[in-house]
Structure 1
Amino acid sequence: MTANLSRRKLLIAGSAGAAGLILPGRALAAEMPEMAPLTMISRNYLGTTGCGLYYEPTEKVSSFSFNSTFYNQLNEWRKYMDTNAPSGWGWPARIYSYGAYTDKPGMHGEGRAFDIGKIVYLNASGVPKIISMRYDLWKNSGDAATYQRRYWATAAGYMRWFRHVLTYKDNTQHHNHMHVDNQVYGGGAAAFNTGSSSQIYIVQGACRYVWGLGTGVDGSWGPETQGDSTAVLRRIGRPSGSITSAANFTAFCTASLRKGLGTQAY
């Protein structure tokens, strides 16, 4: 990559796509001088050393480079996942990823995207509970229903904190990981856009696989999706309005996470 490559060209591409592992301490500014003002950090844990970061293809502890603001937002999401999982699960002890910063255009090129393969919770007895984003591995397994429920619950929880969450329904490139970035919002200022197929997939997936409704998962907003998501809102105690309300949307996301992980039955 040449030093005079414009910032506009670097940002043309979308945020989707798996990221590669970056070596610890590799400086973003050395690769993309125009992005030098971004503060980058390298970490092999998320927020606490009790939550290690692992490279999914090798399953070894690895350091990833992040934009510092995005890293802090991911840490808030991790604490949210900890708080809303069943108490018997323990804590998110390991997060397996395909990467954060990588030398490519888009949000990965700014260290503002993360590709997650699975989360492993461990309780005090060392018993693991796994949330897997590896649709490519479990889609035809005997445990597919459990994996589906946890997958879409986690996607909903992720969407509570970040606008761009890409799932296996978006394209085949995301069959082995879930992508998240903070290009639009990060840190919890959640909003729902009926024109976003990625968000609609997650709402539909949660309605179908978490709440047991017959919702089609096609990425299109229509009467069925509106009606089913509203039915979920009424079930969780939201007295009025639809998922297009920011308060209702955040309530839907958190309730779907808790329901799908088995924290609360509603």
Structure 2
Amino acid sequence: MEDTERRAPEGPRTADGPRPTDGPRQTDSRPMTRRRLLTLGALGVAAAGGTYAVTQAGGIPSLPDVPGLSGLSAPAPRELRIDPAPVDYTELQSRRAVGTAAYVYEVNGRRSAYYVTEAFGKRLDRWIALHRKHIGQVPDELRSYGAWVRGSSTSWHSSGEAIDIARLRADGKDLVSLRHDLWRDAPASELRRRLALYWRTAAGLHHEFADVLTYLFDDAHANHIHVDIGRFGPEQPRLIQRSNAQVQAVQAMCRHVWGRTEVQITGDYDDVTRDATTRILEQAGGPGELAESREAWQAFMVATMQRA
């Protein structure tokens, strides 16, 4: 449910710095402007990402074809070389929930409004639907350190296209805590349980968002997971092998969810990681190798969410 009133944001907001730059990005010769980005989405290319994990049942179905490209599978989305365009919160959509989960500011425990673009809000709703479907949790509260923040063109928070998620709760209790700072020193058995649930939840976020920053990224993310859409805009994400954030996450999922202890968390997409993810995809009935397609990336994330 959305709140369309416009009001000043409540309390301070914690913003991430620039999203990770994992080497030069490939672009064509035309400059990537926000207008051009929105045009790409309007042409229907974003629809190729699909919401198959939410809307279809059984197995891991293939993605739909791109409109206008009959008989061809969806092409791999291109990384975008685009900076955030800071806006005032009055230019954004005011919301008080993600899906059916009320938005609560983690710092003071109060329900409040948050400010994002309409497209980003819809993607958050789609993610929490994935979480409910594949992890089986039905949160009535999402706790966050903030979404929009007045700031520079280096932060996707300033354009209303990022959020920092701390916890999902129901009936006054945590369903999943993304506060690694609070439980990283837990006893071994409790730590294993929390890490498995943390990375199953992160898999859902990686399914929907290209930039997902966890405690592995740096100490500033020990108390939340940051997500934004800067790398692919309206497109669904895929694996970028030189992305430390993505590769580390995949390696952590292999270890903490799938029990593939031969995989080390290095940030390098090495042969051990490639072999482990290929075996996991085969076990789940998914397509090909993880780095080959967006479809394989999404299948891996869905299988990881479902892994109890």
Shorter-chain TM-score tier: 0.7 to 0.9
Is residue 225 from structure 1 mapped to residue 225 from structure 2 by the alignment? no
Tell me the distance in 2 between the aligned counterparts of 1:246 and 1:60: 38
Determine helix, strand or coil for the equivalent of 1:97: strand
Match of 1:115 in 2: 164
RMSD: 2.4
Match status 1:136 vs 2:181: yes
Alignment of 1:1-266 (within 5 A): 14-15=18-19, 35=87, 39-48=91-100, 51-86=101-136, 89=137, 91-105=138-152, 106-120=155-169, 122=170, 126=171, 128=173, 130-142=175-187, 143-185=190-232, 189-214=236-261, 215-238=263-286, 240-259=288-307, 262=308
Which 4+ stretches in 1 moved above 6 angstroms? none
What letter corresponds to residue 254 of structure 2 in structure 1?
Answer: C
Gaps of 5+ in 1: 1-12, 17-32
Q: Distance in 1 between matches of 2:172 and 2:141?
A: 13
Give the total of aligned pairs.
224
Residues 138, 248 of structure 1: alpha-carbon distance in 2 compared, 3 angstrom cutoff = same
Normalized per residue, the structure richer in strand is: 1
| Alpha-carbon separation, structure 2, partners of 1:139 and 1:36 | 37
Q: Rate the CA distance shift 1:60–1:75 in 2: closer, same or farther, 3 A.
A: same
SS at match of 1:151: helix
Cα distance, 1:65 vs. partner?
1.2
Whole-angstrom CA distance in 2 between matches of 1:187 and 1:232: 28
| CA displacement 1:174-194 (0-9 Å, x = unmatched) | 000000001123666221110
User: Which residue of structure 1 lines up, in the alignment, with residue 9 of structure 2?
Assistant: none
Q: Distance in 2 between matches of 1:107 and 1:258?
A: 30
Unpaired runs of at least 5, structure 2: 1-16, 21-84
**TM superposition shift of 1:206:** 0.5
Q: TM-score, normalised by structure 2?
A: 0.67
AA of the residue aligned to 1:14 = P
Give aligned-pair identity as a percent: 28
> TM-score, normalised on structure 1?
0.77
Q: Does the CA contact (< 8 Å) of 1:243 and 1:252 recur in 2?
A: no
